[in-house]
Structure 1
Amino acid sequence: MERLSEIASDLTEVDGIVGVCLGGSRASGTHGPDSDFDLGLYYRPPLDTAALRRLAARLTGAPVEVTEPGGWGPWVDGGGWLTVDGHRVDWIYRDLDRVHRVWRDCRAGRFEIGVQPGHPLGVYSHSYVGEVAVGQVLADPGGELGNLRELTREYPGPLREALMDNARWEAPFILAAARKGAARGDVFYVSGCLFRAVGLLTHALHARARRWVLNEKGAVRAAGELADAPPDFTARAHGLFSALGTTPETLTATLDAADGLVADVCDRLDR
């Protein structure tokens, strides 16, 4: 999109905006022709949202809903959905001081998982850092965003160990709990446990490879492409959900297969 740099520059003229980063599939090179342009608006309060609304209206030619910080929930934060020159351009707020705090946690091997609409696995806090690490800085007058991006290029060893350790104990634990539901034919509970277990394995494999996970979309497929993933990880993981069935027998058989996948992943993590 030809006007992207111009838009980013205009955004940094808004009080509170420190820098702008292109994220999502456009930054990672996995986009298609119709993919959105995700712009991370890194800010410090107070953020002049009135000025953002005026800029959005000027870019689109019509009033645009632009939220206050927190308007989209505790982790996605807020922003606006724009259409500029026929392209979808999403503005997504990121509190820069919060990103710095998460980066400190990552280096200490700490992370948290936040509840957020649209994220069934939850938002892993270190995704904030991953967004900077894999993003493309478009506007950064003070150089702070670029400096942070350089720092985050190296995946923190303590975070890597924490995510792998988490999968080692919690994945078998939650599958063991699921067997109680399987005996009762509780498909809802078993499928939820299974989803959680596969998510843990996916994060652990990415951590093993020192790769950032930004959200659930495409994460299982991406994990299967990693060098240390078990053969056919993606097919096996996806196959678990198609094999669930509704009877105690089919649910138990699926959990047996899930236990095998967990064992194979943990073996790879320990190498």
Structure 2
Amino acid sequence: MHWLAERLQAIPGVVAVTLGGSRARGAELPDSDWDFGLYYRGHLDAGHLRAFGHPGTVVDPGEWGRLMNGGAWWTLDGIKVDVLYRDLDVVESWAALAEQGRFEIDPLLGHLAGWPTYALAGELALGRQLTGPPLPRPQFPPVLRESAPPSWRWRAQFHRTYAEHHADRGDQRAAAAVRTRADFEEAHARLAERGEWALNEKGLLARAGLDTGVENGPATGPNPTTAVATTTAVDFTSTATAPVPLDPAGRPPGPRG
């Protein structure tokens, strides 16, 4: 698939192409997906990807949200290939905020706990670059190891309390679902404490030692007032009221091409 990386690199605006997922870690199986990161600046015309003619789906930048952005889902010779757009200015802006211990959490399809903005920095750190000039490879910021765990645990504590409300009303299915969400939030907290990037929820509970069942007891952490004061990125009611100012395109502050 390295031939595909070279073709992607040739698209106007593309800065670099990376390989992610199990293949970047050297843990792939013969039928594992190929996950490519398409880092660009300025405008990216998805028509160039559609012109490849590969079977599957191609969307325009921004269709999958402000963080996941967009990409392509293809099947080539029976192998699934995912191409994920990453606006490098946006990535660098969120990475810079992570260095200050600041982040936000967006809802994302397929994720119970949501997707933290610092995962964009983690993709740079863990991906294997295939083309283009060297991209940054951030280390997990020490200040983020301090700010992220209480933020995640505040959310977990909230959801465990909410699960009890469901249980009191006899809705055990809803209670179990919300407890599971709290488990994923606690898992994020534990990995952040260890300074480990969490890029998605695959295997997250096992990495955090929470794969044997629902975590019992309330999560530890500060009260909500303290959590908001120490991490300005916490907002589980609405991502529309983000503490980091965004431009009209939904991008955090930073240089634009």
TM-score of the two chains, using structure 1 as the length reference: 0.74
Q: Is the 8 A contact 2:112 2:181 kept in 1?
A: no
Residues 183, 86 of structure 1: alpha-carbon distance in 2 compared, 3 angstrom cutoff: closer
* Residue 75 (structure 1) aligns with: 67
Q: Is the 8 A contact 2:124 2:135 kept in 1?
A: no
Rounded to whole Å, the distance in 1 between the matches of 2:75 and 2:31 is 12
Larger RCO: Structure 1 or Structure 2 (Cα < 8 Å, ≥ 6 residues apart)? 2
Rounded to whole Å, the distance in 2 between the matches of 1:178 and 1:85 is 45
Residues 83, 160 of structure 1: alpha-carbon distance in 2 compared, 3 angstrom cutoff: same
1:206 aligns with 2:194: no
Segments ≥4 residues shifted beyond 3 Å = 167-170
Rounded to whole Å, the distance in 1 between the matches of 2:77 and 2:174 is 46
* Residue 95 (structure 1) aligns with: 87
Name stretches of at least 5 consecutive residues in structure 2 with no aligned partner: 221-257
* Residue 47 (structure 2) aligns with: 50
Q: Which aligned pairs between 1:19-168 and structure 2 lie closer than 5 A?
A: 19-54=16-51, 56-57=52-53, 60=54, 64-140=56-132, 143=133, 146-149=134-137, 152=138, 154-168=139-153
Residues 170, 47 of structure 1: alpha-carbon distance in 2 compared, 3 angstrom cutoff: closer
Secondary structure of 2:216's aligned partner? helix
Q: Is the 8 A contact 1:79 1:90 kept in 2?
A: yes
Residues 79, 156 of structure 1: alpha-carbon distance in 2 compared, 3 angstrom cutoff: same
* Residue 258 (structure 1) aligns with: 216
Name stretches of at least 5 consecutive residues in structure 1 with no aligned partner: 225-232, 241-256, 264-271
Q: Is the 8 A contact 1:172 1:259 kept in 2?
A: no
Deviations 1:75-128 (A, max 9, x none): 322111222344222111111111001101111111111122222321111111
Q: Is the 8 A contact 2:63 2:70 kept in 1?
A: yes
Rounded to whole Å, the distance in 1 between the matches of 2:157 and 2:217 is 7
Aligned length: 220
Q: Is the 8 A contact 2:62 2:70 kept in 1?
A: yes
Q: Is the 8 A contact 1:73 1:117 kept in 2?
A: no
Secondary structure of 1:234's aligned partner? coil
* Residue 14 (structure 2) aligns with: 17
> 1:234 is matched with which residue: 203, 206, 211?
211
> 1:222 is matched with which residue: 207, 221, 228?
207
Give the CA RMSD over aligned residues.
2.0
Counterpart residue identity of residue 136, structure 2: L
1:179 aligns with 2:164: yes
TM-score of the two chains, using structure 2 as the length reference: 0.78
Larger Cα Rg: Structure 1 or Structure 2?
A: 1
Counterpart residue identity of residue 183, structure 1: D
User: Percent sequence identity over matched residues?
Assistant: 40
| Structure with greater proportional helix content | 1
